[in-house]
Amino acid sequence: MKAILIFLISIAILSCKDSHDELHEEMDKISVELRKFDTLLVELYKKSEKDPNKVIAIVDSLLIANTNETDKYKSQIKTNIEGDLHYFKAELLYRMGKYNESINELNSKGNQIKIKGDEININKTGTSAIAYVANYVKLKDLKAAKSFLDSVGNSNGNYYALGNYYESMGDKASALKTYKYNLEEDKSRKHFIYYIWAQKRVEELEKNKPLLKEVFFPSGNPNFEICEICNVDNEKREKITQLLLKMPENQDWFSTAILESPYDSGKDYYWVRVKVGAKEINYYVYPKNYEIKYFDPKTKTVITLEDWRKRK
C-alpha cells in the first residue's frame, strides 16, 4: 500500500514542480513522516504483547487524530496511516480470537484508496487477502477463506498460505504438493521468510508431525523481516537510483523501475528502466563497482555509456 501511495504522491508533486531538487525535497519530507509513523507502529506492536486492549484504545485515538490532521506532509499520507492502523487493529483482534471484529477492521475505509474517482479495495489482494483467509479459517468458513485465497495473487507468502489452508482442511497431500511446488518453482524468493517456512513445513509433514489448524496472519509490524537480505538490496537500489538521476540523459526523469535484481536473478547486475519524458531507457548497473552500461532490450546488446553516447 505504501508503494502505491508514494507513487501517487510523486506523480502529484511532479505535475506541480519543474525542478528535480524540489521534487526530491518534497519526497524526503514525506518519507520522514512515514519513518516517524513506522517507528511509532513498532513501539505499539511491542506494547501490544503485554496489553493489547490498551493498544487498541491508542490505535482508535490515533485514527481520530489522523482524520483531523492538517499538516502539509502528514496529510499526504493520511490514507496510508489509516490503512496501517486498521490493519494493526485487525491483527490484534485476530490474536485475541475476535475474528469477526478483525474482519470488520479489514473491511474498513482505511484499506481502500481512490484513483481517478474509482474506489479500489486493495485488501482483497496480497497479504491483506491472506489476513482474511486466516480469519475465515478460524471461523471454519472454508468457502469464504478459499474465495479470498484465490484473490491473493503473486504475493510473498501466497503458496505458504495455500499450503496452510490445505493443512487446515486436513489435506496433507495437497499441502505438501503446494509447499514443494513453491520451493521448486520460486527459487528466486529463497531468501524470503515464507520460502524458509515452507521448507520447515515440508520437513515437519514428512516426519508425520501434526497438521496446522490455521493460516498465518501476515504481520504489519515494520520490523518484521520478510527478507533480511532485502535491506542490503534496498540500499543498493537507492544508490543506483541516485546515480541514474545524475546522468544528463535522465534529466527529464519521470519514473524508475528495477526489472531484475542479483538477489532474484542470480546475475551480477541490476536491470533498470528509466522513463524520461515520453521514452524509456534501459541500463545494466553492476553493484560490484556501480558501473552503468546501456542495454538495448530489442537487440539484447549491452554497451558502455561512452559507446552509447557516441552512437546517439
- Mapping DSSP onto H, E and C, the string for the chain reads CHHHHHHHHHHHHHHHCCCHHHHHHHHHHHHHHHHHHHHHHHHHHHHHCCCHHHHHHHHHHHHHHHHCCCCCCHHHHHHHHHHHHHHHHHHHHHHCCCHHHHHHHHCCHHHEEEECCEEEEHHHCHHHHHHHHHHHHHCCCHHHHHHHHCCCCCCCCHHHHHHHHHHHHCCHHHHHHHHHHHHHHCHHHCCCHHHHHHHHHHHHHHCCCCCCCCCCCCCCCCCCCCCCCHHHHHHHHHHHHHHHHCCHHHCCEEEEEEEECHHHHCCCCEEEEEEECCEEEEEEEECCCCEEEEEECCCCEEEEHHHHHHHC
| Sole residue written with cell 506492536 | 45
Q: Average pLDDT for residues 27-33, to the nearest whole number?
A: 85
**Structure confidence by residue, pLDDT tens digits, 180-191:** 998 987 666 777
Taking phi first (over 0 means left), then psi (-120 to 50 degrees means alpha), and beta for anything else, what does residue 57 get? alpha
Q: How far apart are CA 159 and CA 175, in angstroms?
A: 9
Grid coordinates given for 295: 542495454
pLDDT at position 109 is 58
Q: Average pLDDT for residues 58-73, to the nearest whole number?
A: 92
Q: Per-residue pLDDT for 23 more than 90?
A: no
pLDDT at position 184 is 86
Q: Is residue 163 within 8 Å of residue 182, measured between CB atoms?
A: yes
Q: Is residue 110 within 8 Å of residue 128, measured between CB atoms?
A: no
**Structure confidence by residue, pLDDT tens digits, 88-118:** 999 999 999 999 999 999 998 555 544 344 4
pLDDT at position 54 is 98
| Sole residue written with cell 485515538 | 61
73 falls in which pLDDT band (50, 70, 90)?
A: confident
* Cβ-based neighbour number of residue 201 at 10 Å: 22
Q: What is the percent of the chain with per-residue pLDDT over 70, rounded to a whole number? A: 86
**Structure confidence by residue, pLDDT tens digits, 162-218:** 999 999 999 999 999 999 998 987 666 777 899 899 999 999 999 999 999 999 999
Give the residue with greater pLDDT, 262 vs 47: 47
| Sole residue written with cell 520451493 | 183
Q: Average pLDDT for residues 4-10, to the nearest whole number?
A: 43
7 falls in which pLDDT band (50, 70, 90)?
A: very low
Grid coordinates given for 243: 546515480
Q: How far apart are CA 306 and CA 69, in angstroms?
A: 50
**Structure confidence by residue, pLDDT tens digits, 130-153:** 999 999 999 999 999 999 999 888
126 falls in which pLDDT band (50, 70, 90)?
A: confident
Spatial CB neighbours of 99, under 8 Å, sequence gap ≥ 6: 93, 135, 136, 138, 139
Q: Per-residue pLDDT for 5 more than 90?
A: no
pTM summary value: 0.70
Grid coordinates given for 182: 513453491
pLDDT at position 306 is 95
The mean predicted confidence, pLDDT, of the chain is 86
pLDDT at position 116 is 40
